Amino acid sequence: MQHQPEYRAVNPFGPVPSYREDGRTIRQSLAIIEYLDECHPDPPLLPDAPFARAEVRQLALSIACEIHPLNNPRVLKYLEHEIHVDEAARLDWMRHWMTTGLEALEALLVDMGSSGRFCHGDRPTLADCCVVPQLFNARRFEVDLSQCPRLLEIDEACSALQAVQNAHPSRQPDAAS
């Protein structure tokens, strides 16, 4: 779908998701999440205190800007088709950058004194919405997560939530059977 001209007309960047409402479109995951959180604020995905909000955004943006871009499908296709990097080297690339990024995120959580079941306390936040898919991808590509115990605790807490279970890729309408 995302590679079809019809979708490119909606989102010139190509990757999903895009959110359309009343003839207008939001085209980036974090913007969509924050918009939906503002429209449906119970429970909120950001804490009340300004500094705590910045901490949660810092975590989410670390994933969205530092970890994810190096491992998204467009980069991997470029490595394969334009630079002719073989599959083993692409897997090494992905594992290296995922490991580096997730270990840095783990260190950031520890430095922030992250406690509670989720990234920032005892309720899911914007940051948790970003952690879950990154750890899903890390496992998909057999990344060693042993150096990320806090992230694994957070992922376990998130995975117990019905909303996260419902959002799992295997439960989506376009999932491979």
- The pLDDT of residue 169 is 84
Say what the alpha-carbon torsion angle 2, 74, 95, 129 is, to the nearest 10 degrees.
-40
The whole-number pLDDT of residue 133 equals: 95
pLDDT tens by residue, the chain, 177 residues: 667 778 788 888 877 788 999 999 999 999 999 999 999 999 999 999 999 999 999 999 999 999 999 988 889 999 999 999 999 999 999 999 999 999 999 999 999 998 899 999 999 999 999 999 999 999 999 999 999 999 999 999 999 999 999 998 888 887 776
The amino acid at residue 156 is E
Please report the beta strands in the chain, taking only residues with DSSP state E, as ranges in sequence order.
19-21, 24-26
- Classify domain 50-167 at the CATH class level: mainly alpha
pLDDT given at position 1: 66
Which conformational region is residue 14 in: left (phi greater than 0), alpha (psi within -120 to 50 degrees), or beta? left
**Which residue in the block uniquely carries the two structure tokens 């871009």?**
69
Per-residue model confidence (pLDDT) at position 17: 85
Residues 12/20, Cβ–Cβ less than 8 Å: no
What phi, psi does 88 have (nearest 5°)?
-60, -45
Ranges in the chain annotated CATH 1.20.1050.10: 50-167
pTM above 0.85, yes or no: yes
